[in-house]
Structure formats: C-alpha cells, structure tokens
Structure 1
Amino acid sequence: MTSAEDAASVASLDKTPRTARGRKTLRALLDAAASEFGERGFHEASISAITRRAGVALGSFYTYFDSKDAVFRALVTDLSAQVRDHVAPAVRAAGDGIAAERAGLAQFIGFVREHKEIYRIIDEAEFVDPDSFRSHYASTAERIDQRLRAAAMRGEVRSDVSDVHAWAIMGMNVFLGLRFGVWNEDRSVEDVADLAASLLRHGLMPEDL
C-alpha cells in the first residue's frame, strides 16, 4: 500500500473518499492537522483551526472524521506511512544489509528535517492514542527485523540477528533523528549516517582487538 492509499484509508469508518476530489480534501485535512497538532499540541488544537488551515468548510471535516481524536489517530497512521514510503526506495537500492540501514537512517533524518512536527505528534500519541503509538514503532521495528533477517540469510550480517537488534537500531535512529533532524542540523545527514553505519558494521570494540 502506498502513502496515497494509506491517506485514503485513514478516514473514519465508512468515510473513505471515493473520488479524486475527496482524496485531495482528505490530504489537505491531514496536512493541516499535522501543522496544527505540531504547533499547538493535541489539547490546544481545534477542528476549526484544522479546517481553516486546510481551506475547507468546517462541515467538510465531518465528511471524513468523527472527531479530533479520529483525525489525530489517522494522522499518526499517515505520518508512519509517509516515513515508510520515503525510506523504502533508498533501502531497496542499497548494496547490502548495513548499507540498507545507513540509507534508511539518512532518508529518515532528511524527512524529519522537513517534518519536524512528527516528533511532537508521535510523542503525544503515547497518551492520546496508545494503540497508534505502539503500532507506529512496532511496524517500524518489524520492517527492520525483516531486513536484518534477509541480510543474515545472504551472509551480510551476523546470523543471530533478532528483534532485539531491530529495536536497538530503531531506537538509535529515533534519537539521531531527534538530535540531528529536530534540535540542530549542525552535522550533515551523510556524516551522521556514515558514523551510524560504521557502528553497526564494526561495533564499539577497539580496532586492534
């Protein structure tokens, strides 16, 4: 499923748009919700502010969503899909398992620099909609786990990779994205990705041991 298809599927039950115009309006609402929740947080955000940002009538919101909670839940799913689709082509094009993780991190930090609001939204999801929060991270870790296991089968990484390794890599990526994507852009994406890839490839053991 592509991010466009994901966007069309996140409306409230029985409100999935069936026309191109409807999908365009839904996309505008989700983008406006990202800006509103990202700037004001869930509790201060309002449906009327989202529709003003989207440039649509207030009534149009309820064509797609039942509540503020519903659009927030849809937004978490949508952002997760956007990250997945942004990262996937570079990961697929990588030469080996470590290169794939390097490419994924580089693309993720690049995405974060253009969508800094993602961290506030995902963090709030832990309390606003714990199921979406958990699903976001669980699905991300599962994709990494699948990549690592495939790389292990090809002999590119150690044979005993597991979900622990996948969650560790994801945790590293999350905090590198926060530090070098949101807080400060004082190092190049390529430099950060290279150092992280070196850590994965060689670990922290001194080179002479």
Structure 2
Amino acid sequence: MSAAPRTKRGEATRAKIIASAQEAFAQYGFHEASIVKITEGAGVAMGTFYLYFPGKLELFREVVFDLNRRLRHAMSRGSAGATNRLDAERGGFRAYFDFLARHPEVYPIIREAWFVAPDALRLHYERIATGYVKALRDASASGEIADVDPEVAAWALMGVGEMLGMRYQAWPDPDRASDAIPDDVFEACMQLVTNALQPVRS
C-alpha cells in the first residue's frame, strides 16, 4: 500500500512520481522501467520514492488506478448534461476516445497489467462497469432504451470502445494523421450503439 501524503508538497511529489512512472512503464515496460529511471524522470531522490511507495509493483498498481480515475472522470464529464441515454452514450464514447488520444500510454499499461497486477486490471474494468451497468439498468427500466441485460450490454459496449481505440488509435499507422478517432469510425460506432440500445417502437 502506498503512503498518503500529508502536505500539498507531498501530494505534488507523489503525483510527479506517478506521472514519471506512467511514462516509463509505457515506454519501457514494467520490468525495464527501473526505479532509477522513474525517480530521475520525476526529479526526486531514490529515498524520496520509498516515502510514498514500498516498491515498483505498488507504484504500477497506483498508475493503473490513477489512469482509471482520470478516464472515468473524463467520461462522466463527457456524458454530463445529456438529455437522454443515447446522447449520454455519444458523449461518453467521445470522451473515451479523446482521452485515448491524449494518453496513448493507456493501452500498453493496461495490457501489461494482465501479467503484472491482474487484480488491478480487474478493478480497472469493474470500476468502469459498475456505473455503466447502473446507468443502463435505469434507462432500460424507464423505457428509454431497449430491454437489455444491463451487465451484458455494459461489458459488450466497453469492448466495442476498447477494440476500436486499439485498432484506430493505439496501433502504429504511418498513414494516420492524428491520434484522434476518425470521424467516420466514430459515427459508425455510434450507429452500432444506437442499433443495440434503441427501443423498439410498436
């Protein structure tokens, strides 16, 4: 377990270590990203590292949780203000893809978590799914979307976003102009989501 900072300065130092670790883990992988590289990137002494983290594994888990918190916050902001569930889906998916464009390190870190910290990987997905399942359950119960199994729908749609982000944003492509999701891909994704969730009107 990592130590909670007691001062604003301590919070800033801990945040610098996490940010440096995120970059190092994405670039070098868990095993090659040494604590020396991480502390040098953060501009802190080796001894300072151990004031906040018992070791590299605990830091890796915290990097996963930090990415997860920021991703969920971005998606929540993206869907805020939507007047219906389908609009919320559009805002949430847009925020998800925009986050990936700004943070391409998400994929290598989350993928490596399967081998390095599988408990953190599972929590990453479950924390996203928990709120999503509730939102879909409420929308289905009110008739706003189709009568779907909210848990199956949530996990399936999470998979849609993750696979499209991997294919069109994370994988190297010399012909890609930017890391943003292509507009036509985004619209095709939204059509798929709409077809899956839109209620059948008699």
The TM-score normalised by the length of structure 2 is 0.88
In 1, the alpha carbon distance for the partners of 2:195 and 2:148 equals: 16
Q: 1:27 aligns with which of 15, 21, 25?
A: 15
Q: Is 1:83 matched with 2:83?
A: no
Partner of 1:155: 143
Residue segments in structure 1 that go unaligned for 5+ positions in a row: 1-10, 204-209
Query: Aligned partner of 2:31: which letter?
Result: H
Residue segments in structure 2 that go unaligned for 5+ positions in a row: 197-202
Mapping 1:44-193, distance limit 5 Å:
44-183=32-171, 184=173, 185=176, 188=181, 190-193=183-186
Query: Aligned partner of 1:165: which letter?
Result: A
Is the 1:99–1:197 Cα contact (8 Å) retained in structure 2? no
CA RMSD of superposed structures (Å): 1.6
Between 1:129-138 and 1:151-160, the stretch displaced more is 151-160
User: Do the aligned partners of residues 103 and 193 (structure 1) sit closer, same or farther apart at CA in structure 2, a change above 3 Å counting?
Assistant: farther
Query: Aligned partner of 2:27: which letter?
Result: E
Query: Aligned partner of 2:145: which letter?
Result: V
- Count of equivalent residues: 191
Deviation at 1:201, TM superposition (A): 1.5
How big is each residue's C-alpha offset from its partner over 1:144-186, in whole Å with a ceiling of 9 and x where there is no partner?
2111112223322012332111110000011111122222556
Between 1:145-154 and 1:133-142, the stretch displaced more is 145-154
Query: Aligned partner of 1:157: which letter?
Result: I
Deviation at 1:140, TM superposition (A): 1.2
In 1, the alpha carbon distance for the partners of 2:83 and 2:164 equals: 23
Is the 2:64–2:110 Cα contact (8 Å) retained in structure 1? yes
Q: 2:193 aligns with which of 190, 194, 200?
A: 200
3-state SS, counterpart of residue 44 of structure 1: coil
The TM-score normalised by the length of structure 1 is 0.85
Is the 2:97–2:181 Cα contact (8 Å) retained in structure 1? no
In 1, the alpha carbon distance for the partners of 2:185 and 2:9 equals: 41
How big is each residue's C-alpha offset from its partner over 1:7-60, in whole Å with a ceiling of 9 and x where there is no partner?
xxxx61xx1001110110111011000000000000111011001101111111
Identity score, percent: 38
In 2, the alpha carbon distance for the partners of 1:189 and 1:143 equals: 27
